[in-house]
C-alpha cells in the first residue's frame, strides 16, 4: 500500500455494538520545503506528490509563476541521524536568473492542508501576491456544462479515497 495509506486496528461502533477490525487509513507526515538549501516551510501532507506540492506552494507564495522558473526539486538525502532518507524534505532550486526571496528568521511560513485561509495573521495576508494572471469574472473561459462534469471526473480519479473514505483532493483541468 505504500506510504499513502496504512493499515491500523480500529474500534468500530455501530449503535451499542463495538468491535475491533483492521482498516485502511490515509497516512500523514510532515514535509519540509527548502529553497536553495534553506528551510522555508513545513506542512503536513499525505506522501505522494511532494514535488508538485512544493512547487504549488512556491506559486501560491509568488516565488515562481511558471514551471521553467524551477530548475529542480529533489529529496534531501541524509534526513535521519543515521543518514537514511525519510523522503520528508525536498529542496527546490530555482532556474538561473530567478530571484530568490530573502529567507530570514522573520520569514517563518505556517502552512496547513486547509484552503489557505486558516493560519493567516490578517485579512491583508489572505491577499497573497501572486504572479499568476487573475481571470476576468465577466469573461469566463469555461462553460457551465463542462464545469458541472468536473467533480465526477475528480472523484473517478480518487482511488485512495475509495480505500479510506477520507482524503482531500485538488485537480487541475485544461
Residue 90's beta-bridge partner residues?
Answer: 33, 75
What's the rounded Cα separation, in Å, for the pair 87 and 64? 23
Catalytic residue (one of 105, 115, 121, 123): 115
Give catalytic status of residue 115 as yes or no: yes
Catalytic positions, written as ranges: 115
Amino acid at each position: 500500500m505504500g506510504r499513502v495509506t496504512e493499515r491500523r486496528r480500529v474500534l468500530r461502533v455501530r449503535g451499542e455494538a463495538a468491535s475491533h477490525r483492521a482498516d485502511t487509513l490515509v497516512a500523514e507526515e510532515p514535509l519540509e520545503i527548502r529553497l536553495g538549501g534553506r528551510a522555508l516551510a513545513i506542512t503536513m501532507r499525505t506522501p505522494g506528490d511532494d514535488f508538485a506540492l512544493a512547487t504549488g506552494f512556491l506559486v501560491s507564495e509568488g516565488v515562481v509563476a511558471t514551471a521553467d522558473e524551477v530548475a529542480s526539486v529533489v529529496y534531501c538525502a541524509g534526513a535521519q541521524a543515521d543518514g537514511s532518507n525519510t523522503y520528508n524534505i525536498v529542496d527546490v532550486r530555482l532556474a538561473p536568473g530567478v530571484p530568490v526571496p530573502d529567507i530570514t528568521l522573520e520569514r517563518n511560513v505556517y502552512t496547513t492542508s486547509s484552503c489557505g485561509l486558516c493560519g493567516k495573521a490578517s485579512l491583508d495576508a489572505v491577499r497573497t501576491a501572486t504572479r499568476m494572471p487573475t481571470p476576468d469574472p465577466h469573461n469566463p473561459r469555461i462553460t457551465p456544462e463542462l464545469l458541472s462534469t468536473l467533480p465526477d471526473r475528480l472523484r473517478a480519479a480518487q482511488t485512495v479515497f475509495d480505500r479510506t473514505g477520507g482524503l482531500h483532493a485538488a485537480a487541475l483541468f485544461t
